[in-house]
Amino acid sequence: MEKEKLVVIGNGMAGLRCVEEILERDAKKYQITIIGAEKYPNYNRIMLSNILQNKMTVEETIMNPFDWYKENGIDLHNHNPAVRMDCSLQNIELADGSVVPYDRCILATGSKPFILPVEGAELEGVVAFRTIDDTKKILDYARKYQKATVIGGGLLGLEAAKGLVDQGMDVTVVHLEKWLMETQLNEAAGKLLKTDLEKQGLKFRMETKTEKILGESRVTGIAFSDGTQMDTDLVVMSIGIRPETSLAKEAGIATNRGILVNDYLETSEKNVYALGECVEHAGKCYGLVAPLYEQGKVLADLLAGIATEGYKGSMTYTALKVSDCDLFSAGTILADDETKAIEAHDEWNHSYKKVFIKNGQVVGTILYGDISEENRFLKMITQKLDISGLSPISLLTSADDLSGDDVTTWENSDTVCGCNGVTKGNILEAIKDKQLSSVAEVTKVTKAGGSCGKCKDKIHDLLGFALGGEAIETSKGICSCTDLSRDEIVLQIHKKQLKTSSDVYEALHFKQKEGCSKCRPAINFYLNVAFPNEHQDEKASRYVNERLYANIQNDGTYSVIPRMRGGKTNPEQLLLIAKTAEKYNVPLVKITGSQRIGMYGIKKEDLPKIWEELDMKSAEAYAKAVRSVKTCVGKNFCRFGTQDSMGLGIKLEERYEFIDTPHKFKMGVSACPRSCVESGVKDFGVIGVENGFQIYIGGNGGTTVEEGKLLTTVETEEEVLDICGAMIAYYRETGIYGERTAPWMKRLGFMHIQTVLLDEEKRALLLESLDKAGKRDEPWQKVCRDKAIQQKLYTVGSSEA
C-alpha cells in the first residue's frame, strides 16, 4: 500500500518537533517531505543569543543534522522555499519551479522579525536577529566595529545586547517603554533588571522613539523623536515578530493576525494543518517554544490516528538567558478588579517577588533575583491549586526554606523541562529503563534540555539522584562549560592564583559565567584543596545531600545517619536516637551496611531540629569525603582475631573524618584474613595478620566491583594511619572530582601510586599537607597550610602522575 504524502512547509522547531512526534507514533504511515527556506538543517533558534554570548557554536545549535533526514527517509528541500500553494490541486510550487504534491500538508512557516518602517532601515549595518545568517552577520560586524545599538528591550533584544557586550562592543539599548520586558515584567522588576544589566556594561535610552537611521551606504547613527542623535556602527532590530501568513493568505486559507486554526490545528482548507508561530488559536498567537511543542503533540496524535482532546491553549512563562540576571515570569501579570496581587521587594538582596491571585488561585507570578521557587508557583498556576487558606506571608515564602530549587525533592508529576513538557517522573523512568548516564543521553531520549537548555542543571541533578552520584559525561573538559581538563584547570588555579569560583570561570573563559551543576562542586573542591585558608568554602556549590547533611530517598524524604566511629556506640547515643525517632514518628530505624543506625523517611523541614536534638555529628553518609570505617569486633572478642580492628578503625575515623575527597572514600578494618568487613573492596582496606597489617587500596563496591590491590604489609598501627593519610592527600591532589579510587588508580597506575605512598619523604610531605589542610565540620573550617608544602606537593601530584 502506497504511503500518504505528508508535506511540511517550514524546517524550524515547531514543524520538526511535530514530525519527530509522528515518527514516534507511526514511522511507516507517511512519506514525509520537508520544505525549508534556509540552507541549514533544523536548528535551535532559542540558542542564537548563546552564540553571541560565547556560550555555544553554530554547530551546537543544530538539532536535526542532515543525516537525520536521510535516516528517517525524509525528502528535504532546504534553501528552496515554497512560493505558491494550490489547495484544490493539493500541490506546492517551490522557488526553483519544482512542484511537490501532498495528501496532507502542515504549514509551519513561523514568523518574521518586525523592522521599523523608518528612513534608513535598509542601510548596511541594520540587521534583524532571527536566523543563523543574522547571527553570523552580527558577529562579523562586531569584529570590525565598536558601537552597537539594539532597538527593543524585550527578551531577545536584551540577550542580543548582552552578547554584543561579550563581543567587546559598546552597546546601547533603545526602548520605547518605561521599563524593560514590559510584557513579562512589571515596573519594579523591570528596573531591577536594568540595574543589573548596567553593571554588566549595557547602556539604556528608555522611553525613546527612533525617528530615522542615519548614513549613506551604511549606518552611522540614529536620530530620535526628541531631536537628539547618537553615533552607532551597528543597529540590531529586535522589536517583535509577526506570523508569516503570506503563503496561506494567497492560497485562500483563512487568516487574521496568524493562520486561523481550531483545537485540532486544522485550517479552513481540507487536509491543511498549521502550527507554531504562524498560527492564531482562540485569538492568541504564541512566540515561545513550549506552546509550539504542545501543538505538535496534538497534531501528531491526530495525523497518527490517535484520539486526542485537542489543543486548549497554553500558559506561557519566560526566563532570560543572561548571566547574573535571574528572572521568571508566568501567567497573568496584570492586576484588575478581579485579580489582586501580593508583592515583596528585598532591596538588600536585590530580589523581588509578586504573585497574582484570582478566585482563590494563583494565576501569575513575577520573580527576580531569587527564582528558587519558580517550580512552586508554576505548579500552583498549572494545577490551579486552592490557596485561599494560605496567609500572604506563607504564600510568598514557602515553609520549606531549604534548597527550594532542589529538583530531587519535587514530585514526579512536576515539570522539569517546560519547553518540552517533560516531568521529573519521565526523566527518572528514562534513566532507569534506558540505562542513561549523561545529560546528552537524557536529552536524546526525552528531549528535556533540548530547547532553551535552562533545565540541564536539573537533569544532571536527577542523574546524580538516580545513579547515586555516578552520572558520567564523556568529553575532554570537566563539563560542557569548558574544554579544559582537571589538570589544566588546577594548573591555572595555582599559576594565576585564582581564589574564587567566579575568578576561575572568568579567567579560564567558561561558557557559562556562573558554571553549571557539574563544574560548580568540582571547582569548589579544587579551590579548597589549593587554597584552604584563602578560599571560603562555597556551600551553595555542594550537592543538596551535603548541604542538608542527609541523604534524599526515593519518596523525597531524607535519612539521618549519626556518626558512630568504627560502628561503636553507647547507651546515651542509643537513647538519643530512640527518643528522636519516637518524637518525629520516623518510619524506619535500621542498622546500615556500614554499622551505623539510620533513621529514614524524615521530612526536610525536620532535619535541622533533629540534628539539634541528637547533638551528634553526621556520619557523612552522603558526601564526597572520608566516610565511616567499617570494622569487625577484633581480637578483644573474636576467637579468630589477630589485631584490635575496632580500635584501629576508630583511630582512622578520628584522624581523617570530614576531609573532602574527589569522591566517597570508604575504609574497612578486619582483624583476620576472613575479612568479615570485606576490606578487599574498600578504597582503603586493612586486614590483620599475625605479624601486622596487610593494606589494600583502590577497591570499590557498587554496580561494578573492583578488587583492591595489596599495597604492602606493615607492622604497626601508626604505619597504617600514615599510609592512609598519605593516600587521602594524594587522591585529593591528583584525583578528578567525581572519580572513585579504582579508576583513579588505573589512570595514574598502581605502581606509581605504590612508589609515592611507600616513599618516606613523599609520604611525610603528603601527611604534612593533609594535617594543615584541615577538616570540614559544622561550620566548615579550614586550617592554614604552608605554601611551600603546597608547591612541593603540587609538583609531586602533577609531574610524576
Residues 652-683: pLDDT tens digits? 988 888 788 999 899 999 999 988 888 889 99
For residue 800, the number of C-alpha atoms closer than 13 Å in the C-beta half-sphere is 17
For residue 213, name the pLDDT band (cuts at 50, 70, 90).
very high
Query: Which of 213, 239, 265 lies at the terminal end of a domain, its last residue?
Result: 239
The three grid cell numbers given for residue 681, joined into one nine-digit string: 573492596
For residue 323, name the pLDDT band (cuts at 50, 70, 90).
low
Residue 574 in any domain: the answer is yes
User: Is the pLDDT assigned to residue 81 strictly greater than 90?
Assistant: yes
DSSP state of 514: T
Average pLDDT over residues 333-346: 86
Same domain assignment for residues 268 and 355: no
Is residue 166 within 8 A of residue 52, CB to CB? The reply is yes
For residue 785, name the pLDDT band (cuts at 50, 70, 90).
very low
The three grid cell numbers given for residue 83, joined into one nine-digit string: 512560493
Same domain assignment for residues 105 and 253: yes
How would you classify the pairing of strands 317-319 and 241-243?
unpaired
Query: Which of 194, 223, 239 lies at the terminal end of a domain, its last residue?
Result: 239
pLDDT at residue number 474: 42
Average pLDDT over residues 761-775: 82
Give DSSP secondary structure letters for 632-686: ---TTT-TT--S-HHHHHHHHHHHHTT-B-SS-EEEEEESSTT-TT-GGGSSEEE
Consult the annotation and say whether 278 binds a ligand.
Answer: no
Most confident of 348-352, 370-374, 399-403, 663-667: 663-667
Residue 121 in any domain: the answer is no
Same domain assignment for residues 276 and 392: no
How would you classify the pairing of strands 104-107 and 4-9?
parallel
Three-state DSSP at 521 gives: helix
Is residue 356 within 8 A of residue 364, CB to CB? The reply is yes
Residue 445 in any domain: the answer is no
Same domain assignment for residues 639 and 784: yes
H/E segment holding residue 543: none
Percentage of the residues of the chain whose pLDDT score is greater than 70: 91
For residue 202, name the pLDDT band (cuts at 50, 70, 90).
very high
DSSP state of 3: P
For residue 500, the number of C-alpha atoms closer than 13 Å in the C-beta half-sphere is 6
For residue 544, name the pLDDT band (cuts at 50, 70, 90).
low
Average pLDDT over residues 575-602: 81
Q: What's the mean per-residue pLDDT of the chain? A: 86
Average pLDDT over residues 446-453: 79
Same domain assignment for residues 179 and 263: no
Number of domains in the chain: 5
Average pLDDT over residues 4-27: 96
Q: How many whole angstroms separate alpha carbon 555 and alpha carbon 789?
A: 47
Q: How many whole angstroms separate alpha carbon 536 and alpha carbon 779?
A: 11
For residue 469, name the pLDDT band (cuts at 50, 70, 90).
low
Q: 369: domain CATH number?
A: 3.30.390.30
Is residue 509 within 8 A of residue 503, CB to CB? The reply is no
pTM above 0.75, yes or no: no
Domain that holds residue 49: 4-111+243-303
The three grid cell numbers given for residue 632, joined into one nine-digit string: 569487625
Consult the annotation and say whether 632 binds a ligand.
Answer: yes
Same domain assignment for residues 637 and 767: yes
User: Is the pLDDT assigned to residue 118 strictly greater than 90?
Assistant: yes
Residue 494 in any domain: the answer is no
For residue 788, name the pLDDT band (cuts at 50, 70, 90).
very low
H/E segment holding residue 237: strand 234-237
> Helix crossing, 645-656 with 717-734: angle to 10°?
40
Is residue 16 within 8 A of residue 111, CB to CB? The reply is no
Residue 483 in any domain: the answer is no
Q: 196: domain CATH number?
A: 3.50.50.60
pLDDT at residue number 798: 35
User: Is the pLDDT assigned to residue 470 strictly greater than 80?
Assistant: no
Same domain assignment for residues 253 and 367: no
Residue whose C-alpha cell is 539604556: 204
Same domain assignment for residues 393 and 368: yes
pLDDT at residue number 554: 62
Same domain assignment for residues 609 and 636: no
User: Is the pLDDT assigned to residue 596 strictly greater than 80?
Assistant: no
Residue 420 in any domain: the answer is no
Same domain assignment for residues 235 and 269: no
Residue 372 in any domain: the answer is yes
Is residue 657 within 8 A of residue 619, CB to CB? The reply is no
Average pLDDT over residues 393-401: 64
Residue 296 in any domain: the answer is yes
For residue 613, name the pLDDT band (cuts at 50, 70, 90).
confident
Same domain assignment for residues 137 and 107: no
Query: Which of 405, 426, 459 lies at the terminal end of a domain, its last residue?
Result: 405
Consult the annotation and say whether 724 binds a ligand.
Answer: no
Average pLDDT over residues 690-705: 86
Same domain assignment for residues 147 and 219: yes
Nearest C-alpha neighbor of 269 from the set 96, 419, 88, 142 = 88
Q: How many whole angstroms separate alpha carbon 80 and alpha carbon 96?
A: 7
Consult the annotation and say whether 18 binds a ligand.
Answer: no
Three-state DSSP at 329 gives: strand
Is residue 133 within 8 A of residue 155, CB to CB? The reply is no
Q: 770: domain CATH number?
A: 3.30.413.10
Is residue 124 within 8 A of residue 216, CB to CB? The reply is no
Average pLDDT over residues 34-45: 95
